[in-house]
A and B are shown apart, each in its own frame.
Chain A
Amino acid sequence: MNPSAVHGAYGPVPWSPDGTRLALKTASEIQILDAGGRIISALSPPGLDGPSDSLDQALDWSPDGQSLVYETANGLKILTVATGKAKSLVEGSQPDWTR
């Protein structure tokens, strides 16, 4: 399978629990990719305006594939993929949601 058209991306790429999507953090967005690496949506939740070295901050899917937990300079946030809305969770880093 060929690499996607996502350029400048370099960070965690977690598979969704059902294996049909990937999530990817860029400097200003969280992108949802299909299984072929093509962008199907781009979300701009709060906390993604940090420096480029923050690209390696972690994100992970909820077990039902409807939300993402992601890391910002101000702690962890939970993003609802369907609405693009996010809420703060706790101060911390490197989140990992149970499978």
Chain B
Amino acid sequence: MRKPRVRFVVIVLVGLSLVLASWACGSRGPGSAPEHTAPTHGRSATPTVAPMLTPEQRQTSQIAYVSSDGNLWVIRDDGSGVRRLTSDGGNTSPRWSPDGRWIAFLHREPASGEILVLMNSDGSNRTRVSESFPGFPFPDQSAELSNVRWSADGCTLYVHIAPGPVSMHPIHAVPLCGGTAADASFAHFFDVRSDGVFARAVAGAVSPIG
């Protein structure tokens, strides 16, 4: 009769030890899940340390690209998940929106020249931006569009237009959340940081400017 009682006491003591050890370590202890800095994905107002991808983000991380027949595809960085998004050809410059829900790209049509297009990331709901926003200086068959970029809040699309109106810079800002398209800056190759700072390649030099 004594052995079962001793065994019970030992089990209780071991259990209490585990509970106390867990309490002493707290939520940040070595046995708990590590805390991750929330990924910024270019959305923060100021530069931060390099974000870490969560497993979910690593799973959803995708690369959009153009095939030799002018169609848009997506693929994961490990080569899996290949999907075709368009089948009409003539598509270039795919660019993911900051939240990954949209892809902006350029499409060349024989009748109207090159146009700026938005679609869902699964290829549905194509919208012709060029004809949807007042102030956008298109369509114009002679114009060439390139280098599509998003603002960090997803409310502005920047695109390089050449040749554009003489009085305007070649980079145009298209306000997707309301407003009128306007010229933004100059350069052929550029990118826009989350805080609005442009990086431009001009005349063989790179210059970040506000």
Q: Please state if B48 and A18 are interface contacts (CB–CB under 8 Å).
A: yes
A46 within 8 A of B: no
- Assembly CA distance A62 to B48 (angstroms): 16
Q: With A94-B93, A94-B94, A98-B61 given, is the CB distance from A13 to B100 under 8 Å?
A: no
A89 touches B75 (CB 8 A): yes
On chain A, the number of residues with a Cβ less than 8 Å from chain B's Cβ atoms is 48
Q: Which residues of B contact A14 (CB under 8 A)?
A: 191, 199
Task: Determine how close the nearest CB of chain B comes to the CB of A87; give it in whole angstroms.
Answer: 9
With A and B bound together, what is the CA distance between A67 and B75 in angstroms? 15
Contacting A at CB under 8 A, from B102-157, are: 147
A residues 1-37 touching B (CB-CB < 8 Å): 1-20, 22, 24, 33, 35-37
Asked if A47 is at the interface (CB within 8 A of a chain B CB), the reply is: no
Bitwise, B47-75 to A at CB < 8 A (1) or not (0) is 11111110001001111111110000101
Specify which of A10, A18, A33 lies most central, judged by the most chain B CB atoms within 10 Å of its CB. A18
- The reply to whether B206 and A24 form a contact with Cβ atoms under 8 Å apart is yes
Min CB distance A80 to B, Å, is 11
Check A96–B65 contact: CB distance below 8 A: yes
Nearest residue in A to B64 (C-beta to C-beta)? Answer: A96
Shortest CB–CB separation between residue B204 and chain A, in angstroms? 5
Smallest CB–CB gap between A75 and chain B, Å?
A: 9
- Give chain A's interface residues, CB within 8 Å of chain B: 1-20, 22, 24, 33, 35-37, 56, 60, 62-67, 69, 76, 78, 89-99
- 14 A-B Cβ contacts within 8 A? A7-B205, A9-B206, A10-B201, A14-B199, A15-B193, A18-B47, A35-B208, A37-B207, A76-B65, A90-B79, A98-B62, A98-B100, A99-B97, A99-B100
